[in-house]
Structure 1
Amino acid sequence: MTDTTHAGLQGRMRSRTKADVRGRIALVTGGSRGLGLLIARELARLGARVTICARDEEELADAAALIRRDTGRSVSWEQCDLSDGRAVDEMVAEVTRRHGPVEILVNNAGIITVGPVESLDVDAFRRAIEVMFMGAVRLTLAVVPGMRERGEGRVINVTSIGGRIAAPHLLPYDCAKFAATGFSEGLRAELAGSGVSVTTAVPGLMRTGSHRAARFTGRRSREYAWFAAAASLPLISMDAERAARLIVRAGIRRKPELVLTAVAKAAVRAHGLAPATTTRALSLAARLLPSAGSSAKSGETSGASEHAKGTRWTDRVATLGEHAARRWNEPGTS
């Protein structure tokens, strides 16, 4: 295929994607920062009528202003705690009243707790499950019946490589993402032929600045150091803007699954072919990570802002992640 032919094909594909999105009512959870903000921006750029939701009103207002600045399009926002079933129902009713029934749902909201299992308590797991699994379930069950009745709709569930391979020191996140992945895949099977498609997006590490929003336990400064570095290195993490474009494109084209980053794709294949070997590799990685220290079983967590002034090495390695955090509305970067 010549470069000219390839460019023409890409142009036609982009045009079809834009036509499929223009005027659609889209709802993006966790849309106030990071990947969710970028997915919302991409949908707005393509002409969707976008509502973003999150828990922090100030962050939502800032995100809406950023999207308007970048795209020239206004987005609506709704403050909502996805762990509150009544709040979810009220939000869906308000979006429907103001704009119409949700036609594109992106379940993206997430929370990250980083630390060894000895330093975690049950609440860390409960919070993760409530937001990343039950929150997605509540919202999906609220909008999918209408989609089925109309015979048209798209659900995009942003899970994680952590929902396929349980990375050490991220167990609450892993567990919630495993549940979300199973829900997404099973939902697609049940909705087959209904006109409602379900896409499971499985990103690896992305440079969104998410280390700024994470909570840390155990030896918190050391946990921050490795996590900030891993989420920032260009060889193992992906540019978040590109990831958002690919996720939106996959959802609009009704792809069943999208695995992002070469490292994540290789890891999924390796785990499928040799799960025992993968587990041994993860065990080695766990031994290289910080131990729980004196705060074991305390269950206490702290935000990244308490550890953001790391060592010179950490600051240097996390430069790209910090740049992304400043651009995409992550906390503690003003």
Structure 2
Amino acid sequence: MNLGLNGKVALITGGSKGIGFVTALTLVKEGADVAICARNADHLHKAATSIKEETGREVLPIVADVTKEEDCKNAVEETVQHFGKINILVNNAGTSSANPFDQVDTELWKYDLDLKLFGAIHCSRYAVPYMRKERGGAIVNLTASMAKTPGASSLPTSVSRSAGMALTKAMSKDLGKDNIRVNTVCIGLIRSDQIEKMWQNNRPDLTWEEYSKEVGKNIPLGRIGNTQEAANVITFLVSEAASYVTGTAVNIDGGSASVL
């Protein structure tokens, strides 16, 4: 299947590691020009070098902190200045922060919302006018399965992610007339640096496959997901293959969510 990504330009926040990095690599392999942004310059340049070594193509690394509106604006404008346009935005930046309600202070609430919600708002706000010039575009906001059914001790992440889902639906309705599609992927348990540290610290006697099955025993598919599986869904959603898909939420959680 031709995904229609050749010559498209994408900006991925949180693109130096994990799902963001693998999504960048996948989009490059599909012919897109890609900019990645993150706060850590060393991690960014390492990611860019790795992609070039594997594909022979360069990505644009942009140092940016998406909790700051000015950095969001600069990331979009640097992308457009370098590539001439922007067609795709993947709002991936975020970390896990799950605590009981009475252990979350005001500063943590503000930081989490700035990172996961306002980061997506600001990047989208500055990208949309350029997408209109291209007569269309695609935005994917990364949220989480817990956003649909927040549980105990899931704050502030579950609230930020739930807001991200509402943002996705509202944006899709406002921007549909401009042929700008907006979707969200609800991430479950996916292999990450944090999970790998837990594996090495808690069960170094197990192989990754054994650890994945042990931790994922209550997941219908019986294992932890991998970043490529998440990147594949994101790549589909921003591609021409998903040209009639907008305003939807796709679970990437091995079936663990209790709702559709």
Distance 1:39 1:242 in 2: 10
Within a 5 Å distance, the mapping from 1:1-334 to structure 2 comes to: 13=1, 16-17=2-3, 20-211=4-195, 233-234=215-216, 235-252=222-239, 253-254=242-243, 255-256=245-246, 257=248, 258-264=250-256, 266-269=257-260
Report the number of matched residues: 240
Indicate if the aligned counterparts of 2:11 and 2:76 stay in contact, CA closer than 8 A.
no
- What SS does the corresponding residue of 1:267 show, helix, strand or coil? coil
The one-character-per-residue Cα deviations of 1:218-260 (angstroms, maximum 9, x if unpaired) are: xxx99xxxxxx88983425212212211221122124333222
Q: Name the aligned partner's letter for residue 19 of structure 2.
A: L
Q: Name the aligned partner's letter for residue 38 of structure 2.
A: A
The aligned counterpart of 1:331 is: none
Q: Name the aligned partner's letter for residue 232 of structure 2.
A: R
The one-character-per-residue Cα deviations of 1:270-294 (angstroms, maximum 9, x if unpaired) are: xxxxxxxxxxxxxxxxxxxxxxxxx
- What SS does the corresponding residue of 1:32 show, helix, strand or coil? coil
The aligned counterpart of 2:205 is: none
Indicate if the aligned counterparts of 2:8 and 2:32 stay in contact, CA closer than 8 A.
yes
- What SS does the corresponding residue of 1:268 show, helix, strand or coil? coil
Percent identity of equivalent pairs: 26
Q: TM-score, normalised by structure 2?
A: 0.84
**How far off is 1:114 after superposition?**
3.4
The one-character-per-residue Cα deviations of 1:195-234 (angstroms, maximum 9, x if unpaired) are: 11112111221112344799xxxxxx99xxxxxx889834
Distance 1:237 1:58 in 2: 28
Larger radius of gyration: 1
Indicate if the aligned counterparts of 1:206 and 1:231 stay in contact, CA closer than 8 A.
no
**How far off is 1:31 after superposition?**
0.3
Indicate if the aligned counterparts of 2:38 and 2:44 stay in contact, CA closer than 8 A.
yes
More helix by share: 1
**How far off is 1:116 after superposition?**
2.8
Classify 1:125/1:184 alpha carbon distance in 2 versus 1 (closer, same or farther; 3 Å): same
Indicate if the aligned counterparts of 2:14 and 2:20 stay in contact, CA closer than 8 A.
yes
Measured on the aligned residues, the alpha-carbon RMSD in Å equals: 2.4
Distance 1:260 1:50 in 2: 23
Indicate if the aligned counterparts of 2:225 and 2:254 stay in contact, CA closer than 8 A.
no
Q: Name the aligned partner's letter for residue 82 of structure 1.
A: V
